[in-house]
Chains A and B, each alone.
Chain A
Amino acid sequence: MLVKDPKKEFYDKIQHQRVLILVTFDVDALCACNILQYLFQCDQVLYTVVPVTGKQDLENSFLENSEGIKHILMLNCGATIDIIELLQPDDDVCFYICDSHRPVDVHNVYNGVQVKLLMKDEEMRDIPDYDDVFRDDEDDESDAESNDEGEQLSKRKRYSDEYILKRRERRQWEENRNKTLFEYTQFSSFGSSAALLMFEIAWRMSKDTNDLVWLGIIGVTDQLVHYRISREKYIEDVMTLQSHVSRHNFKEGPENNQPINSLKISFEDELQLTLYRHWSLFESICKSVTTACKFKVWSMKGRKRLHEFLAEMGLPLIQCQQKYSAMEPSLRNNVKELIQKHIEKYGFAPEDIVIPSFNAQYGYRNKLCASDVVLACCALLESPQEKSQNATDSFFQAMDILNRKNTKEMEEALNMAKKQIGALASQVQTFLDMQQVMSAGPFLYAFVQEGTLEAKCLSKPQCLQRLARFTLEAYSAERRSKKTQYLPLVLGVPLDAEQQTSLVIGIPPLNLDDERKNFFGKAFEQAAVTTNSRTLHNYFDNYILQMNTEDRGKFFDALINLLQVSLSLSLSLSLSLSAFICASP
């Protein structure tokens, strides 16, 4: 059931109760959790935070920790699965789900007692009607079945007309139901960020602080960085946040009156260059997705063009290859204007290079941009582990750096993020140099070679998402032909050499960028079922799965078949693929 008034229906209910918070491994959930912890500490609500990596982990954590707990809050997990069916809780246990994953399972939507959804009302419009999916005349069915047994033949004759009518109506309804459900679940997409929702709850209760706004900003930025929401949705959310930011950061009197050790957030247009404040400008341009793809920095010609661009702006190469913070101030202060002015000549639209974003400054240290924090936090969250370490160790390390006082840890995390992005960029370069991106007809695919150094740090869901997107953009920039715009990409990376498993992700084609809808979840599921592949759909993002490397061949054959069939019949996947038909002769 959708919660209309979060304060009354959610927050007041859990006062003076123990709450179990299940948090998934992404930055948005982490921020939401941080906001909640602050609220709960204000009101002395006792809680337990348990990080969960996937569906199996969710089940285990629930079993372990649920004793005596009546209220369970799920952050960025659980909405897409029938939670009551999976966990089999007692009747008086109540689940509150704050999840940006869509579509929400219909059982969760229509369970009025045990499942409460903390989501935005306007995002829940396309849910099928109750009558279309559920039927209350279950006893009819059992009647029908007992009739089917054939014992009461005479009775059956007598009611045959009525009976047949009923059955036909039922069959129609079932057909309709399957169709509606299929249409509803075929695309996975994302709604509003969990952190933003949590922040708005805090705000409604007048408990919001500047730190909480910052966490909300990071949550929304995380969604943009990992291609979960479109640019329009992002800007819409940013505008909401901007009013909060100006409310909190406006002080009367001269500016130097503010104490230096308070958090200052400012709203400005930000260059979409990865971590450039903490890197050198040159490195950053080479490793950001848009600039790298437009300049094609992996080729000689592309490098030349990049040098030409820098020369045109009047930035000496030595300065660009220096740490950004060590650049000459007169140049550094003008970098943004210079880039904006000169980049249009190189085929960029203005919105390719700048995006409205927020900066935070705390003390005398470097400014932090929201996307910097997201990348640092994500790098820490998905850092490759030693054998002795648990995945959950990194979860709390990542949570710690969200606290603004841990500047030293933050810097280490930024260095890790740089390493991760470096690995990502060099992997893309390898793909292109070795021509490892292949076309399988209805989609493109690529595999990271086993045993490479990068494979280890790339085999994490969030990082894989960024790698897939980078690869697809780079490939289509390289190819030039329009066709690549209409092709989705499937990308695999070896996960565990001993167990022969790999992680596979599917992302939608570039021309459908505005919708950010992914149809691979359903397709993967079907392909796995038809080929009997040993796959594990453990992640909450259903377009990422683990599979046994040996089954790769048959799985892909099935996937090609599936996508081609749906192509020729132009069935429900048509939305994405009909565009492809038009493009291909």
Chain B
Amino acid sequence: MLASKAFELIKELSRGNSGSLSPYNEDCIRQVLDEMKSLYEQNQKDVSDTVAGETGLFSGVQVRHAALERNKRCLLTYLYKRLQIIQEMRWEFGSVLPMDIRYNMCEQEISWFNRYNKMLAVYMRSIGDSGLDLTQDMQPPKSLYIEVRCLKDHGEFETQDGNIIVLKRNNQHFLLRSECEHLIRQGVLEHVTN
């Protein structure tokens, strides 16, 4: 059936759960492109036959053209949706993506990601005097400081104001949220919620 492969791509997109990127389905895309190419060639042939004087081919051309349009729309949707996912991931994971996600991206997507990174960095540097990390607080924080508990012996940790804190298992500290956020992500600290 015409355009069935393209539809498969869309179904694959909708199957993928949010927050993960399925592998770039190059095989399927090439098949769709091949199909489009043959459709186009056939249309060309029919059109040139019509110009030569043959009649009764128009309905065929129209069907093929509609299929072409559909294929195109599906392909673009597929690519665009993937870009959107990658963009979201930039805000979630930061400028360096985990290996398994990178592995699922095609070459063009990687170069797009790098350019997006660069643009974002330039923009964030231009805010205020010394720049502002927009990805830091995705939701407005409730307090500037949070209470954290050390889960492992981490060693010394220098805060922004130059103090040195020893992060040792089972000590509890009251620290600047922005400073300990990455330590919480690493699993060194635990946020104590009251």
Report whether chain A binds chain B: yes
- Using a CB–CB distance below 8 Å, which chain A residues touch chain B? 18, 37, 40-41, 44-51, 64-65, 67-68, 390, 392-393, 395-396, 403, 405
Interface residues of B in 86-115 (CB under 8 A from A): none
Interface string of B111-146 (1 = CB under 8 A from A): 000000000000000000000000000000001110
- Residues of A contacting B174 in the complex (Cβ-Cβ under 8 angstroms): 37, 40-41, 45-48
Q: Provide a sorted-by-A list of 28 A–B residue pairs whose CB atoms are within 8 angstroms.
A: A18-B163, A37-B147, A40-B174, A41-B145, A41-B174, A44-B144, A44-B145, A45-B174, A46-B145, A46-B175, A47-B173, A48-B165, A49-B171, A49-B173, A51-B170, A64-B166, A65-B166, A65-B168, A65-B171, A67-B164, A67-B166, A68-B163, A390-B170, A392-B169, A392-B170, A393-B170, A396-B149, A396-B170
A37 CA to B172 CA in the complex, in Å?
10
Which chain B positions have C-beta within 8 A of A403? 194
A64: chain B residues within 8 A (beta carbon): 166, 168
Q: Is the CB of B169 within 8 A of A48?
A: no
Tell me the nearest residue of chain B to A400, going by C-beta: B192
Residue in A closest to B167 when the chains form the complex, CB atoms: A48
Interface string of B148-173 (1 = CB under 8 A from A): 01000000000000011110111111
Contacts of A395 in B (CB 8 A): 170
From A46, A68, A390, give the contact of B164 (CB < 8 A): A68
> How long is the Cα–Cα vector from A528 to B34 in the complex, in angstroms?
94
Interface residues of A: mostly helix, strand, loop or mixed?
mixed
Residues of chain B at the chain A interface (Cβ within 8 Å): 143-145, 147, 149, 163-166, 168-175, 194
Quick check: B172 and A48 within 8 Å, CB to CB? Answer: yes
Complex Cα gap A223–B144 (Å): 36
Distance, CA A285 to CA B37, complexed state (A): 91
Q: How far is the CB of B155 from chain A (nearest CB, A)?
A: 11
Closest CB in chain A relative to B167 CB, distance in Å = 10
How near does chain B come to A356, taking the closest CB pair, in angstroms? Answer: 30
Q: How far is the CB of B190 from chain A (nearest CB, A)?
A: 10
Cβ of B142 to closest chain A Cβ, rounded Å: 12
Minimum C-beta distance from A94 to chain B (A): 17
Alpha-carbon distance between A37 and B163 when the two chains are bound, in angstroms: 20
Given that A64-B168, A68-B163 are contacting pairs, would A48 and B147 also be in contact in the complex, using a CB cutoff of 8 Å? no
Shortest Cβ distance from residue A570 to the other chain B in the assembled complex, whole angstroms: 49
Q: Smallest Cβ distance from A390 to chain B, in angstroms?
A: 6
Closest 8 pairs between A and B when the two form their complex, measured CB to CB: A392-B170, A49-B172, A48-B173, A47-B174, A68-B163, A50-B171, A46-B174, A67-B164
Q: Which of B144, B168, B169 has its CB near the most chain A CB atoms (within 10 A)?
A: B168
Residues of A within 8 A of B169 (CB): 390, 392
Closest B residue to A19 by beta carbon equals B174
Residues of B close to A40: CB separation below 8 A: 174
